[in-house]
Amino acid sequence: MGNELKTTKGKFVKGDNFLVKQKITTPCEHKIDGAVKVAEYIVREIKKNTRSKIAENIRYYASEEEYTKRFNEWKNSSLIVRLLTQPDPRNLIIAKTLWTERVFKGRPWDHKEYIIETFKGYAVVRSAYSHKLKQNRTFKKHWHKYKNYDYRYDIWSNIHYGYVGLSVGFQKETLLNGANLAQIIDSSGGDAGDPIDDVTAINIGFSLYKKFGKFADKLTANDVLDELNKLPDNKLPDARKRHTCLESKNKL
């Protein structure tokens, strides 16, 4: 038998005619799926914000359903009321102004910095491409594990954006059109990635809204995580990566 490389348990051992090499498997040190904590937080935000006063105000101007209610109340009112008044029309300019004030960078419905700082204890350290620096860098607070994947911090606000946006009465097209989508992408920070990831996360918000309705009463963190976990890789090319410990194993 000539010199050859074999894999077995144990350490490197020199035999008479061959080397025996152990394929070392490093156990994953991440015992907690940190993304669960972030998902629980974003579900609380969705439930709170869909019922907030500002959501009610946006809904008043954006929602066709709310306008129909006003119109029917007006139509069923007395003749004198109908002669002297008109139901307030929808006003998307006002609605979009109120919406932008909530979702733009640093505003209450932009959760990115809060997630970075609040959930850093549940984050995984991993290397990823920095769109700001145009090179790989090490991120210590930006990624959170769920099962076999790590998820980037900015997807959660995008899910919230999609869910709450439909809840207050905007159409999908309004939320996804160039100007409005640019607001959330531009506000996502210097390391924002491919817009495909943003659109995918927003569409998760749409899908969850369709299942759980205006106020998300029965929505859970598991529902959010299930939507993320079942996506094909090409839908989250930047914002979801194979868990860093599993990547390390594959390189051995």
At residue 4 the predicted structure's pLDDT band, cuts being 50, 70 and 90, is very low
Average of per-residue pLDDT across 206-225: 98
Average pLDDT along the chain: 84
Task: Give the residue extent of every domain in the chain.
Answer: 30-251
Residue 7 has pLDDT above 90, yes or no: no
Beta bridge partners of 123: 144
Rounded Cα distance, 101 and 114, in Å: 17
Half-sphere exposure of 144 (CA within 13 A, CB side): 25
Q: How confident is the model at residue 5 (pLDDT cuts 50, 70, 90)?
A: very low
213: number of CA atoms within 13 Å, CB side? 3
Helices (H) and strands (E) in the chain, counts: 12, 7
**Higher confidence at residue 34 or residue 77?**
34
Give pLDDT tens digits for 217-229.
Answer: 999 999 999 999 9
The pair of three-digit structure tokens given for residue 227, joined into one six-digit string:
């939507």
- The DSSP call for residue 26 is P
pLDDT above 90 covers what percent of the chain? 62
Is residue 13 over pLDDT 50? no
Quick one: pLDDT at residue 181? 64
More confident residue, 44 or 18: 44
Question: pLDDT tier at 11 (50, 70, 90 boundaries)?
Answer: very low
Place of tokens 């350290």: 125
Task: Say what the pLDDT of residue 151 is.
Answer: 97
pLDDT level of residue 203 (50, 70, 90 thresholds): very high
Instruction: Say what the pTM is.
Output: 0.82
Phi, psi values for residue 213, rounded to 5°: 80, -175
- In residues, how long is the chain? 252
- Report the pLDDT value the prediction gives residue 134, as an integer from 0 to 100: 81
Is 44 in contact with 159 (CB distance < 8 Å)?
Answer: no
Burial degree of 124 (CB within 10 A; 0-12, 13-18, 19+): buried
Contact call for residues 208 and 158 (beta carbons, < 8 A): no
Q: Residues 137-186: pLDDT tens digits? A: 999 999 999 999 999 999 999 999 999 999 999 999 999 985 566 656 55
| pLDDT category of residue 194 using cuts at 50, 70 and 90 | low
**Tens digits of per-residue pLDDT, 19-63?**
333 334 557 889 899 999 999 999 999 999 999 999 999 999 999
Q: Is the per-residue pLDDT at 1 higher than 70? A: no
